[in-house]
Structure 1
């Protein structure tokens, strides 16, 4: 069973992509790759709230790219 997307995480992902798009002027292809990596991390992490992120969550993190 897959957890449903966390609304807070989805909002943070959209804000991040907007920042990367306009501040860094990245291509759509680059943005798509970053968003895909964030989604893989979100699923791997059990969709825990990103705003409560703790560095230990990355321990044992599989190669996501």
Structure 2
């Protein structure tokens, strides 16, 4: 049996992939992967304190009471 010292073995990765396919379906799985990758990238830049990445624009309140 392969020992990976805390890492995920190929068998466990395969089981995880099959479960993810059953839960999310083959159409949504690439979107989930992209979102996960983007989240990891944002976490890394935030933890390193990289200020070169601009802040997202703030939400501005829209006044719907006035009829234009």
Structure-1-length-normalised TM-score: 0.37
Bigger-Rg structure (1/2): 2
> Higher helix fraction: Structure 1 or Structure 2?
1
Question: Whose relative contact order is higher, 1 or 2, with alpha carbons under 8 Å and at least 6 apart?
Answer: 1
